[in-house]
Structure 1
Amino acid sequence: MIPRRVLLAAPALVAAPARAERVVPDATGRRIAVPDRVTRVFPAGPPAAILLYTLAPDMLAGWPARPPRPAEAVFMLPEAVALPEIGRLTGRDNTANVEAVLRQRPDLVLDYGSVRPVFVSLAERVQAQTGLPTLLLDGALPKIPETYRLLGEILDRRDAAEARAAAAERILAEAVAAAEALRARGRPRVLYVRGPRGLETGVAGSINTEIIEFAGAENVAASALGAGSLVQFSMEQVFAWNPDWIIAIHPDFMATVKADRLWSSVPAVRAGRVALAPGLPFGWVDFPPAVNRLLGLMWLPVLFGLRPRAGLVEAVAEFHALFYHRRPEPAQVEALLRPALPA
């Protein structure tokens, strides 16, 4: 995972403190005073923005990286799409500073992802520099139901949070059962590729490839390269790994495997076992690694032949209706699945 770091370049300004009415825990065990009524939340990065959008889009102050593009916007609420870019506090492209945060007049700052000590320190630093309550929630896949329930308590959206937590529990339980069946049958060896040339991947411990292992497959890069986050690799390594499946997230990679002499000679490519993970409005495997990955857990058992395709279109539409607040047409879902489920 890309290391998260704060870019608070402006002088340390302190917001006028809102009267704290209650103390709530975040996922790290910190107990933080927050306003009794929260109406506006600053998401520290894209994962937090997606989590907040799925639960309480009316509280979202804006988009940390960029507003949704037209192809993404058709799957989302128009009023959320219209929110401005507000800058981000985490990741490689930090653009927010203290003044940018305070300009949005949020009641609190929300971060979502790793809860390792370095990120706890980051949250504490943001809180100290902005004077705003800063919560860090656990982004691990198995924690999604717990995260929804905790955020529902904090935002006073308990019913909405419970509906999403229950749906996430069902998806996770079905994914665990499918993974057990896959291991009994024989784990497919998967190479997950990022970028148009497909020469970046995640290794063991990377939140970017977490769902590959969760779904019961073997991440060949993790087996070969050990623990870490995102790494570059070579075509020589691809041939040595000889994966059963290649899963990509960049649409241009599908053209690369046809035009590039080396990629087109990889056995998995010759056999047609290259799948493009859907990415609208958010990625199903990664990019960003948030609750949107639940869709990937619904899709991968179908890709690996454990479950029939029948019913997947409706299941995806129901997920969109609950989590993204807009039910897509069957033709829209079919278009997402076409490159994701090669014949």
Structure 2
Amino acid sequence: MKKVAEIFLILALVCAGCTVVCGAVSAEEMRTFVDDVGREVVLPAEIDAVSPSGPLAQIVLYSLDPDLFVSVSSSFDSVETKYIDPRLLTLPVTGQFYGSKASTMNPESIMELNKQLHIDVVLDIGEAKETMKPDLDDIQSKTNVAFAFVTQNKLSDIPGSYLKLGELLDRKEQGGRLSAYATALLAEFDAGMKTIGGAKKSLIYVTSIDGNSVSMVGNGSYHAEVLDYVGNNIAAPVTSSSGTGDGYTMEDILQLNPDYIIVSYTGDHAYYNKIMSDPMWRSLTAVQNGNVYEAPYGPYNWMGAPPSVHRLLSLMWLGNLMYPEVFDYSINDRVKEFYSLFFHYDLTDAELSDLMIYAKPNASSTPVPTKAPAPLFGVLAGLAAAAVFAGRRC
């Protein structure tokens, strides 16, 4: 009997030891991440299942690692699907937590999807707001799914956001690579714009035309950051928060008479064609000088909509277009680099020509149907610059 008791005691000690060891291993497999609104988020050491909370998070997460997706915030349109990993087209749609479609993401749907998806973290990206911390704490407590926020609002946020995302999602190498690219590009443009100084060219960005009514993105808008930076955006100060901007009349446009007109993409190039063929538009200096250009589109509109990392494309494009003597590089090479790095897509020369059909000087004024554009890589320079940037954050 004594022997039996001793055996039971030994077994109990072994089980207790296993419990302690297993508990220690389990604890070691978790880590704490402090997000950009100061929330301590407990996460697995290795991340392999991420749900984006909206379109900005979806775009940025894709650039970091498409394999991380277990759901998407919204389905892809016919232009976007050309550039997107086909696997993502089959994933469930989780919806959007913030913005005009915020009601599409709710605790009940997250909990239900998590039963099948086993989500490591729901990623939110954008501008930090006062209500964000309690909002995220609330939905995290209701769903028992981790939510983490990273700031990426202005162009200057991009380098640091990728370093933070690399840490959050355990993708430090790619995060550092994307951060280095953005750091080098922004430094290049800071230097170039100082050279240009007060000699900025005037421009407007036309987002829609309906008879005598014209919509443009106003000066000072979140959506006009690139326009305001590289040119003299002579549209009036913004009054609407919409990405399509504010309403004007044709008479307003004639009075502005800009050096350059950038026009939003449509599948049939309708707005571009209208400007190039309408007698009233043709009286403008920009049209007479051939300085009307359609913003490329694919997988997203380079000018924004939504405004995310692809605005770096519009920065390179407009800089080289308006000031080729300062930003003296092959725009073809730059676009291919960017698409490869951020969209994981290698553009052919034919695809690039389709993509930029009315985005280069000497474009024909008679539009022809074009296939959807494609994405590619960006100039990788200045890894040291990214290290300096990261040092400044510490």
TM-score band, normalised by shorter chain: 0.7 to 0.9
Residue 79 (structure 1) aligned with residue 98 (structure 2): no
Over 3 Å counting, the alpha-carbon distance change for 1:133 and 1:204 in structure 2 is farther
For 1:143-162, what aligned pairs fall within 5 Å after superposition?
143-162=157-176
Instruction: Tell me the residue number matched to 2:120.
Output: 107
Counterpart Cα distance in 2 of 1:190 and 1:300? 10
- Matching residue within 324, 328, 339 for 2:343: 324
* 1:142, distance to aligned residue in structure 2 (A): 0.8
Q: Greater RCO between the two (CA within 8 Å, min separation 6)? A: 1
Counterpart Cα distance in 2 of 1:259 and 1:336? 22
Identity %: 30
* 1:55, distance to aligned residue in structure 2 (A): 0.4
* 1:121, distance to aligned residue in structure 2 (A): 4.9
Select the structure of larger CA radius of gyration. Answer: 2
For 1:1-343, what aligned pairs fall within 5 Å after superposition?
21-69=30-78, 71-94=79-102, 95-105=104-114, 106-139=119-152, 140-184=154-198, 186-195=199-208, 197=210, 199-214=214-229, 216-221=230-235, 224-226=236-238, 229-230=241-242, 231-235=245-249, 236-251=251-266, 252-258=270-276, 262-307=280-325, 311-343=330-362
* 1:119, distance to aligned residue in structure 2 (A): 4.4
Is 1:317–1:330's contact at 8 Å kept on the other side of the alignment? no
In the superposition, the TM-score normalised over structure 2's length comes to 0.73
> What do the CA deviations read for 1:35-83 (whole angstroms, capped 9, x no partner)?
33322122111111010000011112333232242x3333333333443
Letter in 2 for 1:133: A
SS where residue 30 of structure 2 aligns? Answer: strand
Counterpart Cα distance in 1 of 2:133 and 2:287? 42
RMSD over equivalenced CA pairs, Å? 2.7
Alignment coverage as a number of residue pairs: 321
Deviates more, 1:101-110 or 1:190-199: 190-199
In the superposition, the TM-score normalised over structure 1's length comes to 0.83
- Structure 2 unaligned runs (5+)? 1-25, 363-394
Deviates more, 1:148-157 or 1:19-28: 19-28
* 1:300, distance to aligned residue in structure 2 (A): 1.2
Is 2:201–2:231's contact at 8 Å kept on the other side of the alignment? yes
Counterpart Cα distance in 1 of 2:232 and 2:322? 12
Counterpart Cα distance in 2 of 1:126 and 1:208? 29
* 1:162, distance to aligned residue in structure 2 (A): 0.9
Over 3 Å counting, the alpha-carbon distance change for 1:208 and 1:129 in structure 2 is farther
Letter in 2 for 1:149: L
Is 1:246–1:273's contact at 8 Å kept on the other side of the alignment? yes
Deviates more, 1:283-292 or 1:35-44: 35-44
Letter in 1 for 2:186: L
Over 3 Å counting, the alpha-carbon distance change for 1:242 and 1:147 in structure 2 is same
> What do the CA deviations read for 1:252-290 (whole angstroms, capped 9, x no partner)?
321332465654444433433221111111222201211
Counterpart Cα distance in 2 of 1:121 and 1:188? 44
- Structure 1 unaligned runs (5+)? 1-17
Is 1:192–1:246's contact at 8 Å kept on the other side of the alignment? yes
Counterpart Cα distance in 2 of 1:39 and 1:121? 26
Letter in 2 for 1:37: E
SS where residue 193 of structure 1 aligns? Answer: strand
Counterpart Cα distance in 1 of 2:81 and 2:155? 25
Counterpart Cα distance in 1 of 2:108 and 2:134? 20
Letter in 2 for 1:293: R
Over 3 Å counting, the alpha-carbon distance change for 1:82 and 1:98 in structure 2 is same
* 1:158, distance to aligned residue in structure 2 (A): 0.7
Counterpart Cα distance in 1 of 2:200 and 2:226? 14
Instruction: Tell me the residue number matched to 1:9.
Output: none
Over 3 Å counting, the alpha-carbon distance change for 1:156 and 1:88 in structure 2 is same
Is 1:75–1:327's contact at 8 Å kept on the other side of the alignment? no
Is 1:276–1:339's contact at 8 Å kept on the other side of the alignment? yes
Counterpart Cα distance in 2 of 1:118 and 1:189? 38
